[in-house]
A and B are shown apart, each in its own frame.
Chain A
């Protein structure tokens, strides 16, 4: 068992040079490689359409239902090739995805939503209830709302439901897609604090896709930057935060301080990442 909060050298997930094609024609990922160390928070950064979601879905195998497929490369979980498994197998192996845009079951109550997370487990009622309490301890707000239909809860609460639901499967790794989407900055901070404490207290490994580079790099240990389906840069979060290109293009800062949109014309890349 892993000591809480310790990032190891052991790679839990390895993505090796994968290519993903949708509908047999649309090439979305053009050779993405990354490693997710056990016990770490790894961030996948980049703008719209960079391929973050596709990368996560390639790992969790939710691509098939969207007519996407991994055509090259491989994805390994603890050395086992996983790209031919179905999502349920992966959940049983401890890898679960929290999808972008929350995707709660609207007509189910908050508690029923959480319970569906335990679908693949053959746990006793007592164990399941203990886990429910664990989720409620991290998200006290959900306990108050446990009997409400999820469709009527706020965006922040739905994000909590989605994360809590994933926790109910007792995962080892959570693939968290865009947790900040549509949330107020304060709430974003709160969600990331919870991610951090889950990582430190429960030893959970996270791979999170995020457009909000600023927040993500403050909480992650390591980051990958995707552009147009390729990894263009990677490094420890600290180094990325200091990198002048990342600062300029993703954090909106430059040597002269924070840039405003008025200066947008003067944007010029220091380095051509895509050639």
Chain B
């Protein structure tokens, strides 16, 4: 088999793995958009905030230590304990649920029946507020996150492919785990939204707030639930990306990677987020591999958007988006 083809296969596999990580972020967007028609600009920052909180709790950091020290002239920064990964993840989840409740209570319940653009603006405000709040709570230095996920070259794949092609593929263990987790997450979310009472109510709220109210669905409850779910997805994405590239400000920018995924897969489809992520991941890696040397590289920054634009022209609702129902 020619070397080029083997490289291309490895690139494709790596693209799939990267796509899964994009999809994890995109999922959070889809959940909130589906249930409330809000495009949540803050999703990326939520992932950052979740990761920061997780690291902080694991290391026993004192929240708001700068603030406390400045006011009381003390010098606290760490508690004397550290929390094991699983416990810290649970605690972080509790923080995300609280955040969901607070966001809904303070902001969104006052914006029922408002224009989508107003809700969108509110999430932009929320994003920058949370970014600053996260910094104030946990400090702005770059942190290392290690919840015990295996990282580095997967030996099994390396050896098998070496036996087959005489060239070992480099696949990161972390990416493999991310894939498994993403598949699990999506299956659970799809089952939840299609087959459970609350999932049905969630979709009902997305279709028609007023009608959902009229049959006795509590909008507040559904929204807190959905924001908590989005917080949970953000936490998973934060763990994966944080482990991969450290917990730092740039984590919030992964949201920008989720946008083309959403355009492609459709804003309203949970499986669409995954398929869109995979297409974007593979597309941009292959394009870089094939065309990068010709056009001078750095295509990964823009290729995804071009791909998404092309899809938009031909299928505005995305690949799996809900059909735009028009009755004539």
Contacts and interface: CB of A to CB of B under 8 A. Distances in A.
Interface string B209-253: 111111111110000000000000000000000000000000000
Given A99-B210, A105-B211, A120 B325 contact: no
A87 B325 contact: no
Contact of B327 (A67, A96, A152, A166): A152
A221 to B, nearest CB: 25
Given A62-B213, A97-B214, A151-B325, A116 B200 contact: yes
Given A112-B200, A115-B200, A116-B201, A104 B217 contact: no
Given A117-B215, A119-B217, A152-B327, A65 B201 contact: no
Given A106-B325, A107-B207, A119 B201 contact: yes
B204 to A, nearest CB: 5
Interface in A92-109: 92, 96-99, 103-108
A152 B325 CA distance: 7
Given A86-B218, A92-B216, A65 B209 contact: yes
A96 B214 contact: yes
Contacts of B214: 60, 62, 87, 96-99, 103
Interface in B47-100: none
B4 interface: no
Contact of B203 (A99, A108, A117, A120): A108
A228 interface: no
A270 to B, nearest CB: 39
Interface residues of A, number: 34
Contacts of A90: 216
Contact of B325 (A88, A92, A149): A149
Contacts of B219: 65
A67 B210 CA distance: 13
A5 B298 CA distance: 77
Given A91-B215, A117-B215, A62 B325 contact: no
B215 A165 contact: yes
Contacts of A62: 210, 213-214
B158 interface: no
Contact of A87 (B200, B201, B207, B213): B213
B141 to A, nearest CB: 45
B159 interface: no
A151 B327 contact: yes
B207 A106 contact: yes
A169 interface: yes
A97 B214 CA distance: 6
Interface residues on B, range: 20 to 34
A127 B325 CA distance: 33
A263 interface: no
B271 to A, nearest CB: 15
Contact of B200 (A65, A91, A92, A108): A108
B321 to A, nearest CB: 11
Nearest to B34: A107
A66 B217 CA distance: 16
B112 interface: yes
Contacts of A120: 215-216
A15 to B, nearest CB: 18
A88 B217 contact: yes
B113 interface: yes
A107 B325 contact: yes
Nearest to B194: A112
> Taking each of A107, A113, A151, A152, which has the highest tally of chain B beta carbons within 10 Å of its own beta carbon?
A107
Nearest to B322: A107
Contacts of B211: 99, 103-105
Interface string A36-73: 00000000000000000000000010100111000000
> Taking each of B203, B213, B325, which has the highest tally of chain A beta carbons within 10 Å of its own beta carbon?
B213
Given A65-B113, A108-B200, A108-B207, A116 B217 contact: yes
Contacts of B207: 105-108
A105 B208 contact: yes
Nearest to A65: B112
A65 B223 CA distance: 15
Contacts of B213: 62, 65, 87
Nearest to B209: A65
Given A60-B214, A99-B210, A116 B204 contact: yes
B113 to A, nearest CB: 6
Interface of B: 112-113, 197, 200-201, 203-204, 206-219, 322, 325, 327
Given A96-B216, A104-B208, A113-B204, 9 more contacts: A65-B210, A88-B217, A105-B212, A106-B325, A108-B203, A115-B200, A116-B200, A116-B201, A120-B215
28 contacts: A60-B214, A65-B112, A65-B113, A65-B219, A67-B113, A87-B213, A90-B216, A91-B215, A91-B216, A92-B216, A96-B214, A99-B210, A99-B211, A103-B208, A103-B210, A105-B212, A106-B207, A107-B203, A108-B200, A108-B203, A108-B207, A113-B204, A115-B200, A116-B212, A116-B217, A119-B215, A152-B325, A165-B215
Closest 5 CB pairs of A and B: A91-B216, A151-B325, A103-B211, A120-B216, A88-B216
Interface of A: 60, 62, 65-67, 86-88, 90-92, 96-99, 103-108, 112-113, 115-117, 119-120, 149, 151-152, 165-166, 169
